[in-house]
Structures are given as structure tokens and as C-alpha cells.
Amino acid sequence: MHEIALCNSLVDLIRDQQRQRGFRRVRRVIVEVGVLGHVDPHALDFAFDVEARNSPAEGAVLEIREIQGRAWCMDCSRLVTIARRGEACPDCGGFGLIVEQGEELRLKELEVI
């Protein structure tokens, strides 16, 4: 379950921001997660609760925003939406896809006090 390691890094980022900006604690954390990034949102939510203990993010709400997968189809020269890696182009059925979006894992916003 690599979500624990991801949340550990997320809490480290929050601690860094706390040192730089001087806030007391975090109420809400917004992250963007690409659907192609092999991150389970439910596992991420659970891992965040565990990793946030005894940190400025303890008790914070984790809001996960999913980013759709998009790929450039080399066969039909179109930017298409895909739900999973390895699937065919929904327009032409070709498999020459280059992922453009959907692998992200990004700390987008912190609501702090």
C-alpha cells in the first residue's frame, strides 16, 4: 500500500509549509489525483488519517479531486479521454496513445488557522 508513503510525504510538505508560514493547524487538505496514477482514493483517505496523527494536519478533512485521464492518439491525431491505461482510443480504436494527463498527485490547497 504505497498510499501510506504518499501520505507521509504529504504530511512532511504540510509541516514544511507550517514552518514557512507559521499557521497553527490545517482544517482541510485538497489534493488532485489522476485516475491513471495507480492511487486508490479510499486507501489514500485512510492513510492520511493515520499519517496525520500528531501533526498540524491531525483531524483535517482530506478532499480528493480526481483528474480524468487524457491521451494523444497517434493514430487519429486527437486528444481523447481514457479511464485506464492500455485501453484503446475511444475514437478510432487504436492503441498508439501517449498519456497527457491523469498521472498527477498534487497538493492543491491547504485551509489553515
**Which percentage of the chain shows pLDDT scores above 70?**
99
47-85: per-residue pLDDT in tens? 999 999 999 999 999 999 999 999 999 999 999 999 999
pLDDT score at 74: 97
Torsions phi, psi for 110 (to 5 deg): -120, 135
Give the predicted TM-score (pTM) of the model: 0.89
Give the closest residue to 37 by CA, choosing from 79, 70, 60.
Answer: 70
- What is the identity of the amino acid at 90? P
Task: Please give the Cα distance from 84 to 66 (Å, whole number).
Answer: 13
Give the closest residue to 12 by CA, choosing from 57, 44, 42, 50.
Answer: 57
Judging by DSSP bridges, how do beta strands 61-67 and 26-34 pair with one another?
parallel
pLDDT score at 4: 96
Residue 1 confidence class, pLDDT cut points 50, 70, 90: low
**Domains recognised in the chain with CATH numbers:** 3-68+102-112 (3.30.2320.50)
13-24: per-residue pLDDT in tens? 999 999 999 999
28-38: per-residue pLDDT in tens? 999 999 999 99
